Amino acid sequence: MNVFNKVSLQTDPDGFARFHESSLPLSEGSAKAALSALQPSGGMQLRRSPVGFRSEFHCTDNPQWVFILRGAMEIGLQDGSSRLFHPGQHFFSADTLPAGAVFDAKAHGHWSRQVGSEPLETLFVRA
């Protein structure tokens, strides 16, 4: 069976954001064009971040797919690890603030930054 590899950034039960990998079955369509089941979405946004952009630690307000269109994006976590995403790559950002928690920049969320010599262009599709 064909599958789509899904990289997810999510909040674990301990309140820290971590990357996880899973697979979505491509069980629909045809042998020439395998499709996943239809996924819900709540709109899309395009973003351009200039060379040198870096955010502070933050949580995702609304779970969303992030697709890198141009440039490179690095996502850093509280544990000091990071991942770099290039054009054509994606991740599902779902590291929301735990229920009842007050945001703590030393415990919650992730940071993002533009990497390289060209602006970062991303497509956000809300889940």
Tens-digit pLDDT profile for residues 7-38: 999 999 999 999 999 999 999 999 899 999 99
Residue 31 has what pLDDT?
87
| CATH superfamily for domain 3-126 | Jelly Rolls (2.60.120.10)
- Using one digit for the tens of pLDDT, what is the confidence trace for 109-122? 999 999 999 999 99
Domain boundaries, the chain: 3-126
Q: Comparing C-alpha atoms, which of 93, 114, 112, 125 is closest to residue 48?
A: 114
CB-count burial class (<10 Å; 0-12, 13-18, 19+) for 95: buried
The proportion of the chain whose per-residue pLDDT surpasses 90, expressed as a percent, equals 98
Report pLDDT digits (tens) over 64-73.
999 999 999 9
